[in-house]
Structures are given as structure tokens and as C-alpha cells.
Amino acid sequence: MNSVIHEEYSVAQYDFANAGKASSSIKEHLKQLGVDPQVLRRIAVACYESEINLIIHAYGGDIILDVFDDGTIQLIFKDEGPGIEDIEKAMTPGFSTASEKARSMGFGAGMGLPNIKRVSDEFDIQSSSEGTTLTLRFKES
């Protein structure tokens, strides 16, 4: 598999004013490439939820988009901490460690990771106290 498109986006911690901008840009770019609308919708959901997680739970981070020559679309969300203490618990619908500030803004309902996994064709999460890397793949059928 060779990457035919590679883009990187940076997301800042607590930057609620720009929440979703990277996801919107990725969605627009993939739309212009002619990605199937049903696949695009799943990517948009996963990307937005993951971007919000970088803003709320991490110290910010990076989003890496790769589109491969076989049609696979890969998104990697990488941050530098604090990590997810218990991934299994974090995958439980309704479980959240969001701050009161995030909750007061309508974020942190505890559905992010479960929704991301549900809409992704491939889902891999690795986390330690040094940070978390979430790798998602989507395939056009």
C-alpha cells in the first residue's frame, strides 16, 4: 500500500473555539476526492469525536490522514499524554473523565470511543502515561 495523500493537522488542548475545524477540512478534502457518501459520513463522525478527545482529554495532538492507493483511508490521532488509565473502562458507553468545563459546553458524554469504534472498519488504540495513539481505517466497499 502506498500513500497517495498525506496530510497532518495540529489540535490544541482546550481549543473549543476551533473544535471540529480539522475534521471539517478532512471531510471536505475526502468529499472532493469522491469518497462514497456513506463512508464519508462514518469518517466524519469518527474524526470529529477523536478530535474532540484531543481537545478535552489530551494536551492537544496531531491528526494524520493518509489515503492509500487501494482506497483505504487511515486516520491517526496522536497525543503526548496523559494517556488513558483503563482503556476497557473508557470503551464503556457513558463512562467519561471529561472536566466540568467540557461537560458544561456539551462535551464529555462518554460516547466518543464507543461511537468511533462502531463506525470504523479497523480500530486500534494504544495508550500509556506518555500519550495515546488511535489508528482508524476505513475502506470503500
Question: What is the edge-to-edge ordering of all strands in the sheet holding 131-138?
Answer: 3-11, 61-68, 73-79, 131-138, 122-128
Give the pLDDT confidence of 108-136 residue by residue, as tens digits.
776 789 999 999 999 999 999 999 999 99
Burial of 54 per CB tally in 10 Å (0-12, 13-18, 19+): buried
pLDDT at 141: 64
Lookup result for grid cell 497532518: 8
Residue 68, CB-side half-sphere exposure with 13 Å CA sphere: 11
Pick the CATH number of 3-138 from 1.10.3720.10, 3.40.50.1400, 3.30.565.10, 3.40.50.970: 3.30.565.10
Q: Is the pTM of this model over 0.85?
A: yes
